[in-house]
Amino acid sequence: MSEEASKRAQEEADTPDLECQSDDSSDEGDASGDTEMDFLRSLFSRTLGLSPGEKVLDELTLDGVARYILSGKNIICMVGAGISTSAGIPDFRSPGTGLYANLQKYNLPYPEAIFQIDYFKKHPEPFFALARELYPGQFKPTVCHYFMRMLKDKGLLTRCYSQNIDTLERVAGLEGEDLIEAHGTFHTSHCVSFLCRKEYSMDWMQTKIFSEDIPKCDSCGSLVKPVINDKIFILGQSTFSVRLILSFYCLLQDFPRCDLLIIMGTSLQVQPFASLVSRVSNSCPRLLINMEKTGQSEFGMGLFSFGGGMDFDSDKAYRDVAHLSTCDDGCMALAELLGWKEELEQMVKREHALIDSKDAKKKDKEASQNSKSTGAEAGKSDKTE
């Protein structure tokens, strides 16, 4: 070896390998930075159409999605009111039967007002009347809910992003880190006063709602409201869900790494939730299980990440699959293709039986308490006489 070559080799040997010798904290920082940079790079290339995505499904059908799932994937579910209709909870927009169609009896200036905090502070009665109709504990999770639970049990579910406030995902077994309730939940309530914000339990709120009392804070006397549709105002428009903003770290982590996005029972008309379908990578397949195709948008909307820009039918379609059916039927069809149908049917049957058993015990306990209360009142009456 020449003297110059020997000197070069010695210099290389003395040079530290920064990549291999970085400590754990540095690795975490680099990983976080890489994730955010990958997210921004992916967003730019998707919305501007600078790079085509890779086709990973062997065919754009439910069968193709099933074969893809069987290879083991990180799945995100995005769900809306359509997954709960078979439980007896109406969706929002179905003509004649949806919640918005049935809100006329509350004499609202427009249907969405029932969820807006300014209207609520002046007229809380319509919100709590609707809450009595929708309150958790009156409905059982559907096949669709339990299909997502099965994805979790099999280690395939990264997270479920839900627009629903009925808590049926929780009842079905999704909780904690499994679930982002984008529009809030009945699970917790708080005082609406900015200076107070005292938190109240679900049991406390349930007692108030079904006694037809307007819930008031016992600390300051302000209204108490379930954490539902809390929003902030940007340029005078109530557009950004506080729940989604608080979950922004999850968004940055989840969507760039998603291998399959399953969208069920949503019209994809409410922002910013609807825009999440465009947050996955260019190559990530997206399955829509719904009664009609949705999420398709013009380039201009996709540019600003509003709307999904989904493409089911054009010659350029390469990753989006629409299965038009009820959410339950679609999930059962997918479960059958995956070889999980019997397991899913047994899960639904078992979990519903457990719910029925708990409800029966609760009713027996309430009847026993009422009987004791009636007996005590009768005893007092006899002594008085």
Q: Is 84 annotated as a binding residue?
A: yes
Calculate the dihedral angle through the C-alpha atoms of 186, 187, 192, 195, rounding to the nearest 10 degrees: -170
Q: Is 290 annotated as a binding residue?
A: yes
Closest CA to 143 of 286, 292, 356, 351: 351
Measured CA to CA, the distance from residue 303 to residue 309 in angstroms comes to 9
State the catalytic residue, choosing from 123, 145, 183, 190.
Answer: 183
Q: Is 292 annotated as a binding residue?
A: yes
Q: Is 327 annotated as a binding residue?
A: yes
182 CB-contact burial (10 Å; exposed 0-12 / middle 13-18 / buried 19+): buried
Q: Is 92 annotated as a binding residue?
A: yes
Q: Is 291 annotated as a binding residue?
A: yes
Q: Is 42 annotated as a binding residue?
A: no
Residue 323: active-site member: no
The string of DSSP letters for 211-238 reads: TT---B-TTT--BEEEEES-EEEETTEE
Q: Is 93 annotated as a binding residue?
A: yes
CA distances from 384 to 83, 234, 295, 370 (A): 56, 64, 70, 21
Q: Is 46 annotated as a binding residue?
A: no
Helix (H, G, I), strand (E, B) or coil at 91: coil
Q: Is 163 annotated as a binding residue?
A: yes
Q: Is 107 annotated as a binding residue?
A: no
For 95, half-sphere exposure in the C-beta direction (CA atoms, 13 angstrom radius) is: 0
Q: Is 176 annotated as a binding residue?
A: no
Q: Is 165 annotated as a binding residue?
A: yes
What does the block give as tokens for 221? 């006397």
Q: Is 81 annotated as a binding residue?
A: yes
Q: Is the dihedral of CA 370, 373, 379, 381 positive or negative?
A: negative
φ/ψ of residue 52, rounded to 5: -75, 150
Q: Is 20 annotated as a binding residue?
A: no
Helix (H, G, I), strand (E, B) or coil at 12: helix
The neighbour count for residue 317, using CB atoms within 10 Å, is 14
The single-letter DSSP state of residue 92 is S
Q: Is 85 annotated as a binding residue?
A: yes
CA distances from 166 to 134, 159, 169, 189 (A): 7, 18, 8, 14
Binding residues for NAD(+): 81-85, 91-93, 163-166, 266-267, 290-292, 327
Binding residues for Zn(2+): 191, 196, 217, 220
Active site residues: 183
Binding residues: 81-85, 91-93, 163-166, 191, 196, 217, 220, 266-267, 290-292, 327
